[in-house]
Amino acid sequence: MSGLVVHEAVDKRDRLLFVRFPWSVYRENPYWVPPLVRECLAKISSAHPFYAHADAAFFIARQEGRIVGRIAAIIDQNYIRIHNSKTGFFGFFEAFSEPRIASALLETARCWLKERGMESMIGPMSPSTNDECGLLLDGFDTSPCFMMPYNPPYYASMLENFGLCKARDLYAYRIEQSLFDFRKVEILARHLQKKKPALTARPVAMASFGEDLQTVKEIYNQAWSENWGFVPITDAEIDLLANRLKPLIVPGLCLFAHWGEKPVGFSLTLPDYNIALKRLNGRAGLLGKIRFYFLARNIRSCRVMLLGVTRTFRRRGVEAMLLLETVRHALSLGYNCAECSWILEDNELIRRTIESLGGQRYKTYRIYSMDI
């Protein structure tokens, strides 16, 4: 392809162009949800706590001066340490449908990683499994839930033509009120309460949010440590996430599980704020915030985005209890459907629990890998 050039986005102008490029890809797509520009810039800023343990380069592809694609190459030292693997990531991938654009971008990321000693590449990670990751393979005719990725159907073939292969699939489940078995849920809840009286759930205490956040920190890295692709989240990263999400939390949808007095798990469910974000078109000024909170009042769908149980208390009913209580609280608050995402394809325990509540798998996301 003549005139195709890939260069690193170094200065502020290029970083803004990097962030704004998806608006060109999805101009005619009614399902894409524009992210907030401010948050996207923060996510690729060296000041973000992720880059205290990671290096990254952000690249833009131009065809005769016009931006036609973007990609990031990422080396997370925490991932390398935990997995003892010289593996780098690619992420933030977006491109027009010409295959050679994707090949040029992926080759640039591959070379950048290889030059720095990496032996394999996985992705998309934007920038890790603690944030948006995976490539959407189906369900293109619905908008993504809050903090979930979206992409055109042609991305998969472009990645596969480059030589990337499946590493893992991630699933999204949907629970509809119309398919929900209320009687079964009540029977399960009573059975759990009778069989395991020490097991209880409580909502987050917003008045002592700092104390509950400390409990989350203690549970999170232990609960997810055995998951494929796990990367520990640092205190600084979880503090940043908490500050972002605290104003968005509905207390009855953020739950802690206790065995007696001991906290053994937690779940976080948020309204699907993408329904409101879609109307802002990436703008978060004063008027945008007012409009967001006005629109958010009428949201009736939600996303179960985190559910973790400490290792010694797994398979003892904690997972089921958290899901049961989440669904009961959501229904009492007027929500009529929920997405549970993402779920690793080999997480049979959580998948069976969701399916027992009437959940149906409706989207698949794929993490790709290749030797470099």
In a domain? residue 371: no
Domain boundary among 125, 153, 169: 169
What is the extent of the structural domain holding 278? 174-365
In a domain? residue 327: yes
Q: What is the C-alpha to C-alpha distance for residues 257 and 215, in angstroms, rounded to an integer? A: 11
Q: What is the 3-state secondary structure (H, E, C) of 72-116?
A: EEEEEHHHHHHHCCCEEEEEEEEECCCHHHHHHHHHHHHHHHHHC
Statement to judge: residues 197 and 336 lie in one domain: yes
Judged by DSSP in three states, 30 sits in: coil
pTM of full prediction above 0.85 = yes
Statement to judge: residues 274 and 143 lie in one domain: no
Burial class (CB in 10 A: 0-12, 13-18, 19+), 151: buried
Statement to judge: residues 214 and 319 lie in one domain: yes
Statement to judge: residues 178 and 164 lie in one domain: no
Sequential pLDDT tens for the chain (372 residues): 468 999 999 999 999 999 999 999 999 999 999 999 999 999 999 999 999 999 999 999 999 999 999 999 999 999 999 999 999 999 999 999 999 999 999 999 999 999 999 999 999 999 999 999 999 999 999 999 999 999 999 999 999 999 999 999 999 999 988 776 667 767 777 777 788 888 899 999 998 898 899 899 889 988 898 889 999 899 999 999 999 999 999 989 999 999 999 999 999 999 999 999 999 999 988 888 899 999 999 999 999 999 999 998 988 888 888 988 898 889 889 999 999 999 999 999 889 988 988 899 999 999 999 999
In a domain? residue 300: yes
Q: 87-95 and 120-123: which strand pairing?
A: parallel
Q: What is the C-alpha to C-alpha distance for residues 326 and 359, in angstroms, rounded to an integer? A: 14
CA dihedral 248, 252, 254, 258 (to 10 degrees): 160
Statement to judge: residues 156 and 217 lie in one domain: no
Q: What is the C-alpha to C-alpha distance for residues 85 and 83, in angstroms, rounded to an integer? A: 5
In a domain? residue 246: yes
Strand segments (E) across the chain: 4-8, 54-63, 66-76, 87-95, 120-123, 125-126, 132-133, 135-136, 165-176, 199-203, 254-259, 262-271, 301-309, 337-344, 360-371
In a domain? residue 370: no
In a domain? residue 231: yes
Statement to judge: residues 197 and 252 lie in one domain: yes
Statement to judge: residues 269 and 342 lie in one domain: yes
Domain boundary among 116, 149, 169: 169
Statement to judge: residues 198 and 337 lie in one domain: yes
Statement to judge: residues 153 and 287 lie in one domain: no
What is the total count of domains within the chain?
2
Which residue is it, tokens 């909502």?
A: 203
Statement to judge: residues 262 and 281 lie in one domain: yes
Statement to judge: residues 106 and 205 lie in one domain: no
Q: Which two tokens stand for residue 183?
A: 């009687």
Domain CATH for 182: 3.40.630.30
Q: What is the C-alpha to C-alpha distance for residues 300 and 291, in angstroms, rounded to an integer? A: 17
